[in-house]
Amino acid sequence: MLRTDEVLSTIRMLHAEHLDVRAVTLALNLNDCAGSNPDQLVKKVHNKILRYAGRLVEICDTVGAKYGIPVTNKRIAISPASNLLAGHGVPCALELAKCLDLAAKECRVDLVGGFTALVQKGISAGDRVLLDALPDVLSQTERVCASVNAASRKAGINMDALRALGEIIPAVAQADAANRGFAAAKLVVFANIPEDNPFMAGAYMGAGEPEVTVNIGVSGPGVVDSALKRRIASAREQGKKLTLTDLAEEIKLSSFRVTRVGELIGREVAETLGIPFGIVDLSLAPTPTVGDSIGEILKTLGLARIGAPGSTAAIAMLNDAVKKGGLFASSSVGGLSGAFIPVSEDAALADAVEQKHLVLEKLEAMTSVCSVGLDMILIPGDTPPATIAAIIADEMAIGVINNKTTAARLVPVPGAKAGDKVNFGGLFGHSPVLEVRNVGVSEEFVQFGGRIPAPLQSLGN
Amino acid sequence: MTTKTDTPSFGYVLSVIAGDKPGIVAGLSEGILRLGGNIESCSQAVLSGFFTLMMTLRFSTDFEPDALAAELLKENGVEGCRIFCSRTSSLPVRPVPESSIFMLTAFGKDRPGVVRVLSRALADKGVNITELYCEKDGKDGFTLIGQVEVDPKDDPRTLLLDLEDIASEYGFTVKLQHKNIFVATNQLRKP
């Protein structure tokens, strides 16, 4: 029998603390659509997506209503598009992207991910076509998201790929200059990309996954922050001493509950669609909404300024506790599963950048212990390509050496300088442009190219 | 609970109210044991200082309901209680389909008629209330939690929309959610 306090705490979590199912992502393998005829290729892709994902939104809405929890985003992730592009050219890549865009629109999903190339060890013919097409694809489509895996624990860091991306990322932004380079927000570069990530822009269906599956991304920074605030207030009221150990325990409990919500929704959506359930990604994904912020959690943990000494330790504790709580809640945890710190998508982080409390270098340090990386970082539009490549290389190194996923989603805003404010709207939020220091002095390092070898697997200190 | 007898054949529903005090349950259960009965289910709560209890019982002896109540009132601790007793055979029961159990929650500023409008709306739609808890909280607020059965063929969204219309008119908030969301978020074992 449910207790009254249990019912009320769930109600509070769902309705007052911004808990939602952030993304239900249907992952679909499109490799069987490959062919030498571009028209047939895109027709097969369109038909297959409609066949599997045509009812996704309707079912998500029905299941969400049944449990009284909104499924905020419904999305599609495909197997790497580069697999379909070998032997084709940029025009075919653009046609494929437009087909994905149309199919996503017809399925009423907001984004489709998997315009992806896996180049950690080298760039294949299909990868090259995809990379060359990115400026056109991301500026001429609305819903298509792209990702590039440029490094891995086993392969090292492909500096040739990063050198190319140093040119491609500003080109993508420039191609969408009318929207202040927003197209670059749909491109993310990874080290150790997860095969089952439901979150955009990095969602794609990796090797070893089934033909089709449903992956879930839950959110809940607001739930964690509220739980911490209640615990702290209660201890103060009772005159009890509270330690960070106690607060980590509170985060675990919240993460447990959030994960359970995601798995319940995900399994029912998958069952109704008649396809296997994949994973719950229990990442704390903030939104620009006040009260739904990782930055606010850091403040609750006692850091008056985000970016102050202690910020990295606080993020580390948060990230670890989230994983522990989630893993106890479900045996199907996957994806990124940790705390995101996307600057423009988190109002408190964006504010810390504006106050100059949070700088690029500190963000990089924090990404060494969070679940993703330099996410939604707006940089000056005139940042040299080699500097962009080098920023990404630093981020890749953190992932490769520490055997974790890291990523970089940088938006060089055309014409913007450090401190300029940019508003992308919606979930993408707003942020000042961050200052990039020491620009233009990484050229020689980047121009060497080649591959930074895979790291040692032992002597891990 | 007492040990179940091999030939129980007479079922009763018991309802007890009293000003709350220690020893009521002890007295009742001692009386039931003395009369050879077994407690099959029980729900007890203290509401605003009043003791309330419901029980289903089974006996091998065929008691008249009023006689059974009178016997139980003889026990220490039970004196002063009001006991109502009926045979279960006179009260038709129907099974509760687990898959269609939803939790109804409502909260807001208290006023007379909240329970009436909600329960009437549910009854008019054939929705059964299987558990109900409500309480005034703070100075003038109320919280209501009900467990209700919704026909699997019915769309809970439609029912919720109707309830929200009523809630809006009366100035409170209402939610209707499948029970499993509460089980999933509060209990270790998955629903």
Q: What is the band of B97 on the pLDDT scale with cuts at 50, 70, 90?
A: low
Cα–Cα distance, A119 to B160 (Å, whole number): 51
Per domain, the residue ranges of chain A are 26-191, 217-448
Among B50, B69, B90, the domain-final residue is B90
Of B90, B114, B131, the last residue of a domain is B90
- The verdict on B157 touching A (C-beta cutoff 8 Å) is yes
In a domain, B27, yes or no: yes
- Same domain assignment for residues B110 and B40: no
pLDDT in tens, A149-179: 999 999 999 999 999 999 999 999 999 999 9
Judge if B81 and B14 occupy the same domain.
yes
- Give per-residue pLDDT as tens, A344-374: 999 999 999 999 999 999 999 999 998 789 9
> Do B122 and B178 fall within a single domain?
yes
- Domain made up of A26-191: CATH architecture: Alpha-Beta Barrel (3.20)
A390: Cα within 13 Å, side-chain hemisphere: 19
Mean pLDDT (chain A) is 95
Using the predicted structure, report yes or no on whether residue A235 has a pLDDT greater than 70: yes
Query: Do B64 and B108 fall within a single domain?
Result: no
Nearest-CA residue of chain A relative to B189?
A329
Structural domain harbouring B160: 98-186
Predicted pLDDT of residue A294 = 94
B74 shares its domain with B139: no
Specify if B115 maps to a domain.
yes
User: Does residue B38 lie within any of the structural domains?
Assistant: yes
pLDDT at B3: 52
Structural domain includes residue B146: yes
Nearest Cβ partner of B145 from A7, A65, A263? A7
Residue B15, domain CATH? 3.30.70.260
**Whether residue B47 sits in one domain with residue B21:** yes
Same domain for B113 and B179: yes
- Inter-chain touch B105–A260, beta carbons under 8 Å: no
Is the per-residue pLDDT at B1 higher than 60?
no
- pLDDT value for A210: 96
B3 in A contact zone (CB under 8 Å): no
Least confident of A268-277, A379-388, B118-127: B118-127
Residue with tokens 């969602």: A203
Residues of B in contact with A15 (CB under 8 A): 175
Closest CB from B147, B156, B186 relative to A10: B186
pLDDT at position B165 is: 95
Distance CA A282, CA A285 (A): 9
Q: What is the pLDDT of residue B171?
A: 93
A11, A59, A258: which to substitute to probe chain B, counting the most B Cβ within 10 Å?
Answer: A11
Confidence at residue A348, expressed as pLDDT on a 0 to 100 scale:
94
Q: Both B82 and B150 in a single domain?
A: no
User: How confident is the model over A36-87, as pLDDT tens digits?
Assistant: 999 999 999 999 999 999 999 999 999 999 999 989 999 999 999 999 999 9
What average pLDDT does the segment B107-123 reach?
A: 92
Give the pLDDT of residue B96. Answer: 61
**Does the pLDDT value for residue B55 go beyond 70?**
yes
Residue B2 lies inside a defined structural domain of this protein: no
Nearest to A264 among B176, B180, B186 (CB): B180
The answer on pLDDT for B18 being more than 60 is: yes
Domain end (from B58, B90, B122): B90
Average pLDDT over residues A218-244: 93
ipTM over 0.85: no
Q: What order of strands is seen across the sheet that includes strand B128-137?
A: B128-137, B141-149, B101-109, B172-178
State the fold for domain A217-448: Anaerobic Ribonucleotide-triphosphate Reductase Large Chain (3.20.70)
Based on its alpha-carbon atoms, the radius of gyration of chain B, rounded to whole angstroms, reads 20
Number of domains in chain B: 2
- If asked whether residues B38 and B57 sit together in one domain, one would say yes
- Residue A3 has what pLDDT? 84
3-state secondary structure A313-368: HHHHHHHHHHHHHHHHHCCCECCCCCECCCCCCCHHHHHHHHCCCCCHHHHHHHHC
* A264 at B interface, C-beta within 8 A: yes
